[in-house]
Amino acid sequence: MGPDDWIPLRHTDLRVSRIGLGSSFGVSPDDIELAFDLGINYFYWGSIRRPEFGRGIRNLARRARDQIAVVLQSYARWPAPLMRQRFESGLRRLGLDHADILLLGWHNRRPPQAILDEAFALRERGLVRYLMMSGHNRPFFPEMAREEIIDLFMVRYNAAHRGAEQDVFPHLPTDARRPGICAYTATRWRSLLDPKRVLPGEAVPTAADCYRFCLTHPDVDMVLCGPANTQHVREACNALEKGNMDPEEMDWMRRVGDHLYGRTPVVKLLD
């Protein structure tokens, strides 16, 4: 896998791998560079900005900045300038003059105008190229997409939580206004990988299976994974090599997901 396998990310001029790496679980700088060498070029320095992940991005940027997509996230709400300050601090720590994507994290309604104004100003200054939003109020995503001010949405989607198939995907614009979609929580916080929670008699999914399930949906551009070690990175790359699931595999994953769905009430509240 490599640059020839990267896809145009909708509503941007970026070309990205269909799997991206998140920073929450502590992969090393060497793992980041390994992921790139194996074909992954989307790196999300997210809610937990681990220094090791940042060093990996810095190392990559020295040799291939124009080939990687760097995402910085902010949960900041008030005061609005705090969002800008956190973003600019992230750029300094990465040694970059711009990020490709600013993710406005966990907005279940339209972000405050002051936050949007700060984001627009960052874009006008050339510090960020595109805006992304995440949240758990799925029916709001299509409404926000129609404003055409957010380029990408990060949507919770996995074999157990498939509500986006009804609430999001069918209601997005079908023309050039259609935003890019990145799925996350593909393994449902690894509960889809737990033999004790899988329907008796069914095979236990791997992380690669979970990523492939998401990527098989035609409305999902890419999926985010949260590797903790080299093995996890290689498993993500293995998912890319295997490609889409066949109908039998999809049916199996849905059975596993249906059995698991709702067995963690607190998680179900976020669905």
Give the whole-angstrom CA distance, residue 145 versus residue 40.
Answer: 27
Per the structure block, which two tokens stand in for 180?
A: 């890019």
Structural domain of residue 229, as residue ranges?
Answer: 3-268
pLDDT of residue 32: 93
Rounded mean pLDDT, 95-122: 92
Computed over every residue of the chain, the mean pLDDT equals: 91
Per the structure block, which two tokens stand in for 201?
A: 């008699």
**How far separated are the first and last CA of the chain, in Å rounded?**
33
pLDDT at 270 over 70: no
Q: How many domains does the chain have?
A: 1
Per the structure block, which two tokens stand in for 45?
A: 């320095």
* Model confidence band, residue 75 (pLDDT cutoffs 50, 70, 90): confident
More confident residue, 37 or 270: 37
Give the whole-angstrom CA distance, residue 37 versus residue 33.
Answer: 6
Closest CA to 29 of 51, 13, 14, 5: 51
* Model confidence band, residue 4 (pLDDT cutoffs 50, 70, 90): confident
Spell 33-56 as b/e; 16+ CB within 10 A means b. Answer: bbbbebbbbbbbbbeebbeebbbb
pLDDT of residue 13: 95
pLDDT of residue 265: 55
Return the percentage of the chain with pLDDT > 90, whole number.
72
Out of 62-66, 105-109, 148-152, 267-271, least confident range: 267-271
Per the structure block, which two tokens stand in for 269?
A: 């509240």
pLDDT of residue 189: 84
pLDDT of residue 23: 80
Rounded mean pLDDT, 69-97: 89
Length of the chain: 271
Give the whole-angstrom CA distance, residue 209 versus residue 198.
Answer: 14
pLDDT of residue 21: 94
* Model confidence band, residue 6 (pLDDT cutoffs 50, 70, 90): very high
We report the CATH number of the domain holding residue 89 as 3.20.20.100
Between the CA atoms of 238, 194, 224 and 71, what dihedral angle is there, to the nearest 10 degrees?
A: -120
pLDDT of residue 232: 92
pLDDT at 1 over 70: no
* Model confidence band, residue 83 (pLDDT cutoffs 50, 70, 90): confident
pLDDT at 86 over 80: yes
Query: Is 16:181 a contact under the CB 8 Å cutoff?
Result: no
Rounded mean pLDDT, 260-266: 68
Model-level pTM? 0.92
Question: Over the stretch 119-161, which tens digit does the pLDDT of each residue have?
Answer: 999 999 999 999 999 988 999 999 999 999 999 999 999 999 9
Query: Is 91:121 a contact under the CB 8 Å cutoff?
Result: no
pLDDT of residue 26: 76
Return the percentage of the chain with pLDDT > 70, whole number.
95
Q: Could you tell me how far CA 121 lies from the centroid of its own chain?
A: 24
More confident residue, 257 or 52: 257
Q: Which residues contact 13 (CB under 8 A, 6 or more apart)?
A: none
Residue 214 has phi, psi (to 5 degrees) of: -60, -45
More confident residue, 39 or 174: 39
